[in-house]
Structure 1
Amino acid sequence: MEDIKDSNENSCTKNILVILGFSCVISMIVLIAVGISQNKPLPQNVKYGIVLDAGSSHTSLYIYSWPSEKENDTGIVQQIEECQVAGPGISKYAHKLQEIGDYLAECMERTRYVIPVSKHHETPIYLGATAGMRLLRMESEQLADRVIGAVIRTLSTYPFNFQGATIITGQEEGAYGWITINYLLGSFFQNSGWLSGISEKMNHEKTFGALDLGGASTQITFVPENHTTESPENSLQFRLYGKDYYVYTHSFLCYGKDQALWQKLAKDIQVSSGRSLRDPCFHTGYKKVVNVSDLYKTPCTKKFKKTLPFDEFQIQGTGNYEQCQQSILELFNTGDCPYSQCAFNGIYLPPIQGNFGAFSAFYFVMNFFNLTSEKVSQEEAIRKIRNFCSQPWNEVSSSFPGIKEKYLSEYCFSGTYILSLLLHGYHFTSKSWENIHFMGKIEKSSAGWTLGYMLNLTNMIPAEQPFTAPLYHSTYIFLMVLFSLILVSGIIATLFICKKSSYFWREMV
């Protein structure tokens, strides 16, 4: 009987150990499975947007991304790609519409590669045309419509969610540029972790003004000290991130650097003798032939149009900064002002105040002269550009062999024009000059109007629910504790039974 009893006890012990072992294994499997599934990286739900900046001299394509679960109802938009379209601005294709498809193809194909295929159909794409197309529309609304129509047909063939191609106003261009730099500099946020790289000097209670210079127009936008304005058409109101902003903005069409040069040449050729124009804004020894038909092709030179006894003339550089500036200042009519204060041409301008971000051609030209450092004074900028203009063309061309002749030959004019515009057009002083910050990129995003445009568009895109872990946090904790207790209890019970069984067999012996 005792043998049978011992056998039954031994069998029972083995069964209990098997059950406990099985429970421990199951508990370990559950703990590992729950831990892995709960803590694996969540998929990123990222959205993309494409904006093409169709400027007067070139077109740029920008790709932006932002998380679908937006912060404060506005996506944290970041630039992830930039593509410069080879060739001039789209307005130059008014008489060769069939080439627009090839013109945009390279950058559009690159976009297919950058944005995941699964996101193509939902990625919005927009094209905004600026001053070059505004000038073409002044010249011929029909031609401008044809160009935009060709662009629409081309972009509609790609697998993205095409939203439209439009000619934006100068006021919109200025306003979106202002939004861009203040967004990137953190003016609309406080204590945002994603903006940890922004300068500690930034005062979040103040915004930066925006100075934009293109080939055909220039914009100035800032928050004036007094919200009341003498010129309501130059005033805009924004509500961004729960705060109201009253902004002054104006776009000076025909005062981009390229059109300003055409204006100056059209003005100066009127008083020149013969087919030769001695021009102080070009280096001594530089010569260039200009067609009269090209000179009067743009609406910006219509006011200087004059019947000339020749079809072309030759520019002969004389390289003199002071004379160049004097010639440029004749483009700015500062005599007639119907307001308490004007910029030029009778356009109201509130007193300049605060910091300004100067971008686009402001930055590119001043960067060529190494004048983008905040330590550079107004006097040093004038001295450096004066010295550059006085250099003979053969020295300049040999010193910068990698720069195209067209751009290199115009840097004397462009640098002098920028100083003239800022100091005499916008009335910056030697003291307020210190508040101009020349900006190319901020936080890896290009300073310009396109990001502000994208920010406005993403505000219209509803936020999506973020991806979440498969279990609620409380459920996850409960399961981990429960199966941990089962595992520990099983191990303790197994050790106890094994120890008791060992003691029992020693007693039998």
Structure 2
Amino acid sequence: MEDRKESELKNFCSRNILIILGFSSIAAVIALIAVGLTQNKPLPENVKYGIVLDAGSSHTSLYIYKWPAEKENDTGVVHQITECKLKGPGISRYAQKLSEIDIYLTPCMVRATQVVPQSQHQETPVYLGATAGMRLLRIENEQLANTVLIAVARSLSKYHFDFQGARIITGQEEGAYGWITINYLLGKFSQKLNWLNLKPNEGSALETYGALDLGGASTQITFVPQNKKIESPSNALHFRLYGRDYSVYTHSFLCYGKDQALRQKLAKDIQGTNGILRDPCFHPGYETVMNVSDLYSSPCTKKFERTLPFDQFQIQGTGNYQQCRQSILQLFNTSSCPYSHCSFNGVFLPPLHGDFGAFSAYYYVMEFLNFTSEETPSQEEMTDTMEKFCSQPWEELKTYFGDVKEKYLSEYCFSGAYILSLLLSGYHFTADSWKNIHFMGKIQSSNVGWTLGYMLNLTNMIPAEEPLSAPLSHATYIFLMVLFSLILVAGVIVGVCFFYKPSYFWKDMV
């Protein structure tokens, strides 16, 4: 009788112990899975957005940038995610039609509200930078330029972004920010590791590219001089990016963008004619009529303004590249230089050094002329191509390039000749240094221009946030994982032993 009671007690205890061990093991497995999933679940993306509007002389573009809130050496890692081109001319053309600015800006600003998450609209900064077109308007009528900026600011303030202002950036800023953009996209600010000692290779970060920017109304040249000596203080700018200090030379030539340079050339060449200008920079058979008042309406042509016996003049193309270039060279005054080295018009220019990225109109014109291959064509090849292109009859050219707007097509001969003249005679690139020029449109899906550099520099003023961390500290996570693992292992060992060798647990009761 006692043996039977003892056997029932053992069976009862064994069953309950196994149930407890089973539940403990299951609980330990669940705890391990829960802790692991909680600790290793993807963290929410912690990013910032910024919007920059590039208000150029001929058009306006909006760029949306994105960067992680945890910055790298105090400068955000910025990427372009969207570009939106506004339909219409530059904002300076709206000086007499301010009521249309709202309509002009709306499509791209609406696009921005769709791209940037709504939860981040109020903390997303919006900047508008106006360049040479507005610089010229300010020279002509400062009050009118301010009125345009006020109207633009009023329109942009209607959106629920953090509008930071609309202003005219200086030519030096435009050049320097373009320099930042190129070198950022090419990875020139990142230190490379030496595989032998895993220390930064100091020399690699110093070999930056120079920047050549050509717009419609101005052109900029920016680079780090080899000896770092800049004789003209107004041409020196200093930056700190990714833990490094940079001293760069930069100069902006207002009125020497391709559109205003053409106006200067026409205003110079029309003098002494009878109202018919036979122009070698336009194709044979090309004809157009232009108002003298329109030609002299720009501050860039005031120095050529004369009282002429006609109100309109006709341009007749003759298509001669060499004559065209000789006419263009008269725009560059290289007769005097108050410094050790100059570009033109008495402007200081250090000796050229290193590789250069040429973008904006440099790229668009050279792309059309098929000069944007990986290896820059030689001067002789470009000259031969330009001579053949400029001499092509206008009607033949229109047939071959029927999808190109006539205004742009008619000016490619002048633009190509102007670019070669500016680089060779204006900036003094030689046969040896010419091969260091690289024509660039985009790098890693980001447009090459001043706006990305502007955004990069501005992120230095945005405080970095603490990185998002996992729910548990590393020590707590390890402790819990070890604890629940030990509970699971102990439960399994005890359960196996109890199941196969129950006598070890009951021998004291026998």
TM over 0.5: yes
Distance 1:38 1:361 in 2: 52
State the SS of the aligned residue for 2:267. helix
Amino acid at match of 1:369: L
Q: How many residues align?
A: 496
Q: Name 2:460's counterpart in structure 1.
A: 459
Matched, 1:221 2:196: no
Tell me the alpha carbon deviations over residues 61-120 of structure 1, each in whole angstroms, 9 at most, x when there is no partner.
111110001011111011111111111100000000010111111111111111111111
Tell me the alpha carbon deviations over residues 224-272 of structure 1, each in whole angstroms, 9 at most, x when there is no partner.
1222333222122333333332221111000000000111111111122
State the SS of the aligned residue for 2:431. coil
Q: Name 1:507's counterpart in structure 2.
A: none
State the SS of the aligned residue for 2:121. helix
The TM-score with structure 2 as length reference comes to: 0.94
Which moved further from structure 2: 480-489 or 279-288? Answer: 480-489
Q: Name 2:161's counterpart in structure 1.
A: 160
Distance 1:261 1:303 in 2: 14
Matched, 1:296 2:296: yes
Query: 1:337: how far off?
Result: 1.8
Q: Name 2:50's counterpart in structure 1.
A: 49
Which moved further from structure 2: 366-375 or 257-266? Answer: 366-375
Q: Name 1:334's counterpart in structure 2.
A: 334
State the SS of the aligned residue for 2:220. strand
Tell me the alpha carbon deviations over residues 337-394 of structure 1, each in whole angstroms, 9 at most, x when there is no partner.
2222211111111111211111111111111111122421121112112211110111
Query: 1:439: how far off?
Result: 1.0
State the SS of the aligned residue for 1:70. coil
Distance 1:171 1:105 in 2: 30
State the SS of the aligned residue for 2:7. helix
Seq. identity, %? 70
Distance 2:248 2:493 in 1: 73
Matched, 1:371 2:388: no
Which residues of 2 match residues 354-503 of structure 1 at below 5 A? Answer: 354-375=354-375, 376-500=377-501
Query: 1:478: how far off?
Result: 2.0
Which moved further from structure 2: 232-241 or 43-52? Answer: 232-241
Contact (CA 8 Å) 1:148, 1:165: kept in 2 or not? yes
Distance 2:374 2:352 in 1: 18
Distance 2:357 2:482 in 1: 56
Amino acid at match of 1:439: M
Which moved further from structure 2: 180-189 or 103-112? Answer: 180-189
Which consecutive residues of structure 1, in runs of 5 or more, have no partner in the other structure? 193-201, 505-509
Q: Name 1:198's counterpart in structure 2.
A: none
Query: 1:488: how far off?
Result: 2.1
Which residues of 2 match residues 137-152 of structure 1 at below 5 A? Answer: 137-152=138-153
Amino acid at match of 1:126: Y
Query: 1:495: how far off?
Result: 2.2
Which residues of 2 match residues 128-277 of structure 1 at below 5 A? Answer: 128-191=129-192, 203-272=204-273, 274-277=274-277
Tell me the alpha carbon deviations over residues 132-164 of structure 1, each in whole angstroms, 9 at most, x when there is no partner.
000000000011001000000000001110001
Distance 1:502 1:54 in 2: 89
Amino acid at match of 1:245: Y
Contact (CA 8 Å) 2:74, 2:243: kept in 1 or not? no
Query: 1:326: how far off?
Result: 0.8
Contact (CA 8 Å) 1:212, 1:362: kept in 2 or not? yes
Amino acid at match of 1:34: V
Which moved further from structure 2: 242-251 or 213-222? Answer: 242-251
Distance 2:206 2:442 in 1: 22
Amino acid at match of 1:327: S
Q: Name 1:287's counterpart in structure 2.
A: 287
Contact (CA 8 Å) 1:329, 1:420: kept in 2 or not? yes
Distance 1:239 1:39 in 2: 36
Contact (CA 8 Å) 2:217, 2:259: kept in 1 or not? yes
The TM-score with structure 1 as length reference comes to: 0.95
Contact (CA 8 Å) 1:54, 1:129: kept in 2 or not? yes
Distance 2:238 2:69 in 1: 27
Query: 1:203: how far off?
Result: 4.2
Name segments (4+ residues, structure 1) moved above 4 Å: 501-504
Q: Name 1:120's counterpart in structure 2.
A: 121
